[in-house]
Amino acid sequence: MNEPSTLYHYTSFETLFAIINNINNDDPNNVYFTLRATHASFLNDDTEGKLLPNVLHDLGVTDSTLLILQSLQGYPFVCSLSELDDDLNMWRCYANDGKGVAIGLNYSELKSILNDKLTKIEYASHDELKKRLISGGIKQMLHAEDKLPLSRLLYEALSYKHPSFSAEKEWRIASHSLEQGFGVSNGFIKPYIEFRIPTSAIETITFGPKCEFTKNKVSIYRMLKDKISPSKLDKIQIINSQVPLT
């Protein structure tokens, strides 16, 4: 698997403000911000987290077995990232139609912190995933009395998406847990959990094509100046989108 050097979190201007404003610098050796992961049922794919269970059901796993195994895992939470830098469709879909930002995060540093919680999305149709599981020996697992391997497989449910989303080149931070809090967004009260990310992972902050760049750059720079050391601030590029979206 080819690993990217940087992953991008497309989000709203308000979220960027909250991220920077809430940077924790109590310990100079552990300065971090938090990324929120939303409950998977609030994401924009109606089949989110359902593709793998549906395939397993098609292969003979009963609804009751799936329900028991999934209930033992906790609720699924997801924070999405992309390999795509300054991408028109990503601006439109995930950054307030170009009025938001994309935060570029160093992949290696994310991987060292998040380990197996950071995964690359695999895009497959129902039939494609079914064939893949069968060729991988899934039937032996299904007929085994020990259901632990099947439970472990279900943890990967958030790593599969419908191929119509493949252009997004998504990676995600995913975890099964109980909610840590609730927030309001787009008319929904959404459960969330948070992941701590060191500020040293921030490589770029790209303003969307519909943002006023010059004045906002000064404000963001001054906010960061009060939160992180000059040496770390110098490594963060605050740049403007080159996408001609008006």
Q: How confident is the model at residue 42 (pLDDT cuts 50, 70, 90)?
A: confident
Nearest by Cα to 197 from 32, 10, 21: 32
Do the domain assignments include residue 143?
Answer: yes
Do the domain assignments include residue 133?
Answer: yes
Model pLDDT for residues 142-177, shown as the tens digit of each residue:
888 888 888 888 888 999 999 999 999 999 999 999
Model pLDDT for residues 211-237, shown as the tens digit of each residue:
999 999 999 999 999 999 999 999 999
Q: How confident is the model at residue 1 (pLDDT cuts 50, 70, 90)?
A: low
What distances in angstroms separate CA 27 from CA 23, 31, 53, one per listed residue?
A: 11, 6, 43
Does position 47 have pLDDT exceeding 70, yes or no? yes
Do the domain assignments include residue 104?
Answer: yes
Do the domain assignments include residue 245?
Answer: no
List, in sequence order, every residue forming a beta bridge with 103; answer none if it has no partner: 9, 205
Q: How confident is the model at residue 244 (pLDDT cuts 50, 70, 90)?
A: very high
Counting the structural domains of the chain, the total is 1
Highest mean pLDDT among 10-24, 34-48, 60-74: 10-24
Do the domain assignments include residue 246?
Answer: no
Query: What is the rounded CA–CA span in Å between residue 12 and residue 17?
Result: 9
Do the domain assignments include residue 159?
Answer: yes
Do the domain assignments include residue 71?
Answer: yes
What is the 3-state secondary structure of 140-166?
HHHCCCCCHHHHHHHHHHHHEECHHHH
Which residues, 6+ apart, have CB-to-CB distance to 240 below 8 Å? 206, 207, 211, 213
Neighbours of 96 (CB within 10 A): 19
Query: What DSSP designation does 40 have?
Result: G
Do the domain assignments include residue 1?
Answer: no
Which residues, 6+ apart, have CB-to-CB distance to 75 below 8 Å? 39, 40, 176, 177, 178, 179, 191
Structure tokens at 199: 């500020």
Helix, strand, coil abundance in the chain, percent, nearest 5: 40, 30, 30
**Residue 11: Cβ-neighbour burial (10 angstroms; 0-12, 13-18, 19+):** buried
Q: Which domain holds residue 103?
A: 6-240
Percent of the chain beyond pLDDT 70?
A: 100
